């Protein structure tokens, strides 16, 4: 395996793209942390400061993006 990176998924309840994102990460055997934006004001402020307005927001090492992005998830594996 290559370098270990921290992957964080900022999510919301009943979010289809959030579920698709975590399932894609699991399917590739990647470990990640999920943070519920509706329960963590600091996390909500952080992703808002990054310019995001939709969930999920994925931060993987130096990279980050919003929405379900199987192309970018595939690059992490």
Residue 60 to residues 13, 14, 39, 65: CA-CA distances in angstroms? 21, 22, 21, 9
Q: Residue 63 pairs with which residues in a beta bridge? A: 60
Domain extent listing, the chain:
7-74
The C-alpha atoms of residue 9 and residue 34 are separated, in whole angstroms, by: 5
Closest CA to 47 of 21, 67, 77: 67
* CATH class label, 7-74: alpha beta
Neighbours of 70 (CB within 10 A): 12
The C-alpha atoms of residue 21 and residue 68 are separated, in whole angstroms, by: 5
Residue pLDDT, tens place only, 39-73 = 999 999 999 999 999 999 999 999 999 999 999 99
| Residue 3 banded pLDDT, cuts 50, 70, 90 | low
């Amino acid at each position: 395996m290559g370098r270990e990176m921290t992957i964080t998924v900022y999510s919301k309840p009943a979010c289809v793209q959030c579920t698709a994102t975590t399932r894609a990460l699991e399917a590739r055997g990647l470990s990640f942390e999920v943070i519920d934006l509706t329960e963590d004001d600091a996390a909500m402020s952080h992703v808002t400061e990054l310019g995001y307005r939709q969930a999920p927001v994925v931060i993987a090492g130096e990279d980050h993006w919003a929405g379900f992005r199987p192309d970018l998830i595939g690059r992490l594996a």
